[in-house]
């Protein structure tokens, strides 16, 4: 967690974090058609405000569990950028040794406990970690990121109900981008949505409708304060929008399940652009230059790293 000495310092920090994520993913999208990236990609472009707004409040020893659309949470919590890109390139220096790919990022030293390609499967792991913290009387918190589609999985109900029953130190963060692949949540989910479902299980919930990182951060601060004082789990639902297709680097409005007009409206309300516009021109330009240099160096690191050798094929494989 950062000491906010001024509103200007806060805005600069948040802009840097969001711009870093945006530019990394734009670079991934650029190189993806060349087959440099050795795994499927689920980009967070457009959704950066959620992870950055929440993770800016976390302390070094707090932990996060992510989803297959996890680049933003990984980077916002402090995961190594060179190791992430090396992992996407399938190289030995990657955070998973080149074996995990984009959907299974982790950096335990930074408190990024991992993500999974299967919807909802990190939720019980996050709750189990929170239970361990409670049993050890450790003053840390867990944050579990997931999409609104995960709230339709049985494991979500089980995990949230168990966390409520044990008053565990966990914040559930729902990144509601409205579409589970191409199925509209409005056509699938009746009632009050994720917040209503959480409250029915005994977990107080709050919804952030503004596409704004400061609004996300303010709401997360209130929820995390309750979790830290021992009041039990909380849920934060953030409305957002992914700019690219469900999996891959392209636009998908031609598929018909969401319109170009709706996408344009969300993009015109881009929280990154609005935050950048609030900064002095020279400050914004310097942050952009720093981000560009860092990404260039990380890409070079990934490209120069060797692939795992054939002698490593059976490493970390459980054999009967």
Give the C-alpha separation, 220 to 211, whole Å. Answer: 14
Cβ atoms < 10 Å from Cβ of 215: 16
Phi-psi region of 256 (alpha: psi -120 to 50; beta: other; left: phi over 0): left
Cβ atoms < 10 Å from Cβ of 109: 11
In the DSSP assignment, the letter for residue 211 is -
Q: What is the pLDDT of residues 48-88, one digit of tens each?
A: 999 999 999 999 999 999 999 999 999 999 999 999 999 99
Question: How far is the CA of 193 from the CAs of 196, 225, 238, in angstroms?
Answer: 5, 24, 12
Give the C-alpha separation, 173 to 222, whole Å. Answer: 13
According to DSSP, the residues that pair with 143 across neighbouring strands are 64, 171
Q: Which residues contact 16 (CB under 8 A, 6 or more apart)?
A: 287, 290, 291
**Are residues 27 and 81 in contact, defined by beta-carbon separation less than 8 angstroms?**
no
Q: What is the pLDDT of residues 181-220, one digit of tens each?
A: 998 887 877 777 899 999 999 999 999 998 899 999 999 9
Domains contained in the chain, CATH given: 7-305 (3.40.50.970)
Residue 3 has a pLDDT of 54
Q: pLDDT tens digits for the chain (320 residues)?
A: 665 558 999 999 999 999 999 999 999 999 999 999 999 999 999 999 999 999 999 999 999 999 999 999 999 999 999 999 999 999 999 999 999 999 999 999 999 999 999 999 999 999 999 999 999 999 999 999 999 999 999 999 999 999 999 999 999 999 999 998 998 887 877 777 899 999 999 999 999 998 899 999 999 999 999 999 999 999 999 999 999 999 999 999 999 999 999 999 999 999 999 999 999 999 999 999 999 999 999 999 999 999 999 988 888 888 87
> For the whole model, what pTM was predicted?
0.95
């Amino acid at each position: 967690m950062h000491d906010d000495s001024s509103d200007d310092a806060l805005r600069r920090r948040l802009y840097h974090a969001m711009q870093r994520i945006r530019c990394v993913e734009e670079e991934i999208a650029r190189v993806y058609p060349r087959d440099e990236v050795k795994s499927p990609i689920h980009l967070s472009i457009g959704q950066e405000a959620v992870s950055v707004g929440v993770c800016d409040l976390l302390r070094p020893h707090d932990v996060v569990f992510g989803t297959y659309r996890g680049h933003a949470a990984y980077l916002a919590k402090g995961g190594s950028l060179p190791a992430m890109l090396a992992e996407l390139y399938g190289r030995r220096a990657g955070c998973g040794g080149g074996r995990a790919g984009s959907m299974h990022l982790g950096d335990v030293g930074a408190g990024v406990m991992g993500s999974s390609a299967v919807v909802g499967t990190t939720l019980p792991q996050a709750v189990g970690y929170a239970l361990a913290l409670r049993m050890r009387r450790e003053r840390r918190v867990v944050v579990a990121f997931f999409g609104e589609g995960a709230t339709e999985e049985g494991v979500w109900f089980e995990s949230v109900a168990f966390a409520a029953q044990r008053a565990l130190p966990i914040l559930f963060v729902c990144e509601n981008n409205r579409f589970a692949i191409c199925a509209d949540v409005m056509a699938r989910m009746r009632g009050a949505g994720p917040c209503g479902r959480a409250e029915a299980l005994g977990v107080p919930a709050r919804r952030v409708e503004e596409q704004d990182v400061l609004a996300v951060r303010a709401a997360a601060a209130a929820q995390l304060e309750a979790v830290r004082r021992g009041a039990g789990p909380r849920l934060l639902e953030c409305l957002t929008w992914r700019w690219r297709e469900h999996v891959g680097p392209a636009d998908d409005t031609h598929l018909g399940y969401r319109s170009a007009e709706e996408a344009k409206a969300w993009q015109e309300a881009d929280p990154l652009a609005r935050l950048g516009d609030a900064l002095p021109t020279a400050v914004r330009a310097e942050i952009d230059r720093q981000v560009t240099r860092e990404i260039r160096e990380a890409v070079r690191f990934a490209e120069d790293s060797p692939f795992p050798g054939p002698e490593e094929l059976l490493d970390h494989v459980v054999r009967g």
